[in-house]
């Protein structure tokens, strides 16, 4: 007898999409009061309107967005510190597998080279989910096809030359992003960033700031500023750089950079420049910041 799927249970794609929309709302990509048009979201996330409709329904069911009769869905006012709603799908989603792969590679549980079958046996994910995840990792230049069979992780930022190339690339990209004509800082997001930096300094006191706490804050800082520029390619470049660091186990990557407090002070100076509306000065501080970190690694 054929078992029918439970139509009320969300698919992995719907959950992944809902999480992505929620993340962008928290990051102020979609501002409060914005009408979440199915057509516009489908183009932005490169999917059809059907999963968008289902994703919006999931978020509305969690009271994360507002549903207005005969009008559609709208972004609610999101207080600082809001976290994404808890959303689950039967089985592993593509985003779940992507995160697991990054974490397991950082812990060196996955070798330099591997095959689809290796991952299938390790994670038991559906082939469609595995295929989507491998396409994403490949598109982000985190893995590359081996000649003949399988995949391998592209390169290591723990190598001195690659690490210095990475910082020079980031300096070029991130300083340019701050000067983009479409750049528009979000005051609430800047306040959130400032509070997060000040809280980490205060709570650490005389203690050494942990690499994990700093990495999370650092990634959020650089990606949030990249979102302000309104150019998806700048954001994708910065996200890829952060993922490369996650792959290499960021704790090991920054073990020789005992300047977390200095970096936080530099971040706060950039935030202050943006709050003052001086993007040229923010870009100058950003370049000096990245070059100093490069010379200390």
Q: What domains can be seen in the chain, in order of their start residue? A: 12-75 (1.10.10.10), 94-153 (1.10.10), 160-295 (1.20.120.530)
Q: Does pLDDT of 182 surpass 70? A: yes
The neighbour count for residue 35, using CB atoms within 10 Å, is 12
CA distances (Å), 263 to each of 201, 217, 234, 237, 255, in order?
11, 11, 22, 21, 14
Local confidence band at 204 (pLDDT 50, 70, 90 cut-offs): confident
Give the three-class secondary structure for 35: strand
199 vs 1, more confident: 199
Side by side, which strands form the sheet with 143-145? 113-114, 151-153, 143-145
The owner of tokens 């090991």 is 252
What's this model's pTM, rounded to 2 decimal places?
Answer: 0.65
pLDDT tens-digit series, residues 110-145: 898 999 999 988 988 888 889 989 988 888 888 889
Are the beta carbons of 171 and 289 closer than 8 angstroms?
no
Mean pLDDT of all residues in 96-117: 88
Residue 253: pLDDT above 70?
Answer: no
Q: What angle do CA 295, 198, 276 make, to 5 degrees?
A: 80
Average pLDDT over residues 59-77: 92
In terms of C-beta density within 10 A (0-12 exposed, 13-18 middle, 19 or more buried), how is residue 11 classed?
middle
Give the DSSP H or E segment for 59.
Answer: helix 49-61
């Amino acid at each position: 007898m054929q078992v029918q799927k439970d139509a009320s249970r969300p698919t992995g794609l719907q959950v992944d999409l809902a999480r992505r929309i929620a993340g962008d709302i928290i990051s102020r990509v979609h501002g409060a009061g914005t009408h979440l048009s199915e057509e516009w979201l489908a183009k932005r996330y490169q999917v059809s309107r059907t999963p968008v409709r289902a994703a919006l329904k999931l978020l509305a069911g969690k009271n994360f967005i507002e549903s207005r009769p005969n009008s559609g869905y709208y972004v609610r006012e999101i207080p600082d510190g809001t976290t994404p709603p808890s959303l689950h799908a039967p089985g592993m989603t593509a985003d779940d597998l992507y995160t697991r792969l990054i974490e397991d590679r950082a812990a060196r549980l996955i070798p330099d080279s591997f095959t689809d079958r290796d991952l299938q046996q390790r994670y038991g994910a559906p082939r469609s989910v595995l295929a989507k995840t491998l396409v994403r990792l490949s598109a982000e230049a985190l893995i590359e096809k081996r000649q003949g069979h399988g995949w391998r992780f592209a390169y290591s930022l723990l190598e001195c030359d690659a690490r210095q190339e990475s910082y020079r690339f980031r300096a070029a990209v991130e300083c340019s992003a701050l000067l983009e004509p479409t750049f528009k800082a979000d005051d609430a997001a800047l306040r959130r960033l400032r509070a997060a930096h000040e809280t980490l300094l205060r709570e650490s006191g005389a203690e050494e700031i942990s690499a994990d706490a700093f990495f999370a804050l650092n990634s959020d800082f650089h990606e949030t500023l990249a979102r302000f520029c309104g150019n998806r390619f700048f954001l994708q470049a910065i996200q890829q750089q952060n993922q490369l660091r996650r792959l290499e186990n960021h704790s090991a990557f920054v073990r020789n950079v005992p300047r977390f407090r200095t970096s936080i002070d530099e971040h706060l100076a950039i935030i202050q420049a943006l709050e003052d509306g001086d993007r040229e000065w923010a870009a100058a501080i950003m370049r000096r910041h990245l070059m100093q970190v490069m010379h200390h690694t």
